C-alpha cells in the first residue's frame, strides 16, 4: 500500500544507464511512477526506456548528458515541464585506487566533478523548483566510504563524505518546507562500479566480489523505493547498507 504513494509521481534518476540507477528505474516504474532518466549513453537509455515501456504503463523522458556539464544539467531541468517529485542523485563513480602520492589527477577531477559538483548542480536546479511548490524529495546515493575512509580511497572517500555533508546541509537549507532529503549509503554492490574504478580491468574488478555475496543493484533500489514511499511526515536521513559478509569498508569475509 505504501508504494501507492509513488503512483503518477515524476522521478528524475541520474546515471540511469546501469547499476543502481537502472534498477531504480524499473522499481519506480513498477510502483507506477513516471520517469525522467539521464545518462551519458544514449543507446542504453533508449534500450532501458523501451524495456520498461513494454512492461509498465508509465511515461518516460530521457536526457543524454554528462552531469559534470553544469549548463547541460540546467538545460535538462529547465526542459522538464512536469513537476519533479523525486530526484535520485545516483550518478557517481570511483576512478583509480592509487595512494595519494601516486594518484592520477584526472581520476581526482573525474570523481570530484561527478560525485560532488554534478550532484550539487542537479540538486541546485531541482530544489529551486521544489521550493516553489513546497514539495519534493531528494535522495542522494552515498556510500559506506562516506562514513569511514580507507587506503587508496582518499579522494573517493572525500567525495562520499561530501555527499553525506551535502545531504545534511540541504535538509537544513530546506528547513521549514515540505521537501524531504535522504541518503542511501551502500557497501559492496556488484555493478559496473569496480570495472570503472579499475579502468576497464575486469579481472581486477572481479576480485572485489570474489568468494562473497555482495549486494545487488536491486537490493539498493528496493531501499531507495522504501525511503521514497514513506508518509510525507517521515524523512529517512541516511541508511547504511552492507552485505552480511562486510563489516566495514575494509573488513570483508570471503569463503575459502
Read out DSSP for 177-212?
SSEEEEEEEES-B-SSHHHHHTTT-HHHHHHHTTTS
Using a 10 angstrom Cβ sphere, with 0-12 exposed, 13-18 middle and 19 or more buried, the burial of residue 129 is: middle
Residue 150 lies in a domain: yes
Q: What is the pLDDT of residue 224?
A: 98
- Residue 251 CA to residue 209 CA, distance in Å, equals 13
Please tell me whether residue 186 adopts helix, strand or coil conformation. strand
Domain that holds residue 62: 2-185+216-241
Residue 54 lies in a domain: yes
Residue with cell 543502481: 20
Q: What is the pLDDT of residue 1?
A: 59
Residue 120 lies in a domain: yes
Q: Which of 52, 143, 154, 144 is nearest to 101 (CA)?
A: 154
Q: Could you give the number of structural domains in the chain? A: 1
Residues with catalytic annotation? 156, 160
Q: Which of 21, 18, 54 is nearest to 36 (CA)?
A: 21
- Residue 122 CA to residue 187 CA, distance in Å, equals 24
Q: What is the pLDDT of residue 256?
A: 79
Residue 209 lies in a domain: no
Q: What is the pLDDT of residue 53?
A: 94
Q: What is the pLDDT of residue 172?
A: 98
Q: Which of 12, 189, 23, 228 is nearest to 93 (CA)?
A: 189
Residue 84 lies in a domain: yes
Can you state the percent helix, strand and coil of the chain, rounding each to 5? 45, 15, 40
Hey, what's the cell of 42?
A: 544514449
Continuous segment of H or E residues that includes residue 53: helix 42-55
Q: What is the pLDDT of residues 174-233, one digit of tens each?
A: 999 999 999 999 999 999 888 889 888 888 988 999 999 999 999 999 999 999 999 999
Hey, what's the cell of 54?
A: 513494454
Residue 191 lies in a domain: no
Residue 195 lies in a domain: no
Q: What is the pLDDT of residue 104?
A: 95
Q: What is the pLDDT of residue 194?
A: 87
- Residue 30 CA to residue 24 CA, distance in Å, equals 10
Q: What is the CATH number of the domain that holds 47?
A: 3.40.50.720
- Enumerate residue ranges in the chain where pLDDT < 70: 1
Amino acid at each position: 500500500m505504501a508504494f501507492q504513494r509513488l503512483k503518477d509521481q515524476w522521478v528524475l534518476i541520474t546515471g540511469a544507464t546501469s547499476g543502481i540507477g537502472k534498477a531504480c528505474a524499473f522499481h519506480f516504474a513498477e510502483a507506477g511512477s513516471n520517469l525522467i532518466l539521464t545518462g551519458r549513453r544514449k543507446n542504453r537509455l533508449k534500450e532501458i526506456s523501451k524495456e520498461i515501456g513494454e512492461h509498465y504503463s508509465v511515461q518516460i523522458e530521457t536526457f543524454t548528458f554528462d552531469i559534470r556539464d553544469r549548463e547541460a544539467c540546467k538545460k535538462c531541468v529547465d526542459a522538464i515541464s512536469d513537476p519533479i517529485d523525486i530526484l535520485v542523485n545516483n550518478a557517481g563513480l570511483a576512478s583509480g585506487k592509487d595512494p595519494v602520492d601516486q594518484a592520477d589527477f584526472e581520476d581526482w577531477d573525474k570523481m570530484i566533478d561527478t560525485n560532488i559538483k554534478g550532484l550539487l548542480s542537479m540538486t541546485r536546479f531541482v530544489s529551486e523548483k521544489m521550493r516553489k511548490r513546497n514539495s519534493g524529495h531528494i535522495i542522494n546515493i552515498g556510500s559506506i566510504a562516506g562514513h569511514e575512509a580507507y587506503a587508496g580511497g582518499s579522494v573517493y572517500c572525500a567525495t562520499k563524505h561530501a555527499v553525506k555533508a551535502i545531504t545534511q546541509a540541504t535538509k537544513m537549507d530546506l528547513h521549514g518546507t515540505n521537501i524531504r532529503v535522504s541518503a542511501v549509503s551502500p557497501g559492496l554492490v556488484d555493478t559496473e562500479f569496480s570495472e570503472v574504478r579499475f579502468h576497464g580491468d575486469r579481472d581486477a574488478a572481479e576480485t572485489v566480489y570474489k568468494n562473497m555475496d555482495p549486494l545487488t543493484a536491486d537490493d539498493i533500489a528496493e531501499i531507495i523505493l522504501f525511503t521514497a514511499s514513506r508518509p510525507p511526515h517521515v524523512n529517512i536521513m541516511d541508511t547504511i547498507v552492507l552485505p552480511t559478509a562486510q563489516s566495514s569498508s575494509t573488513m570483508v569475509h570471503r569463503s575459502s
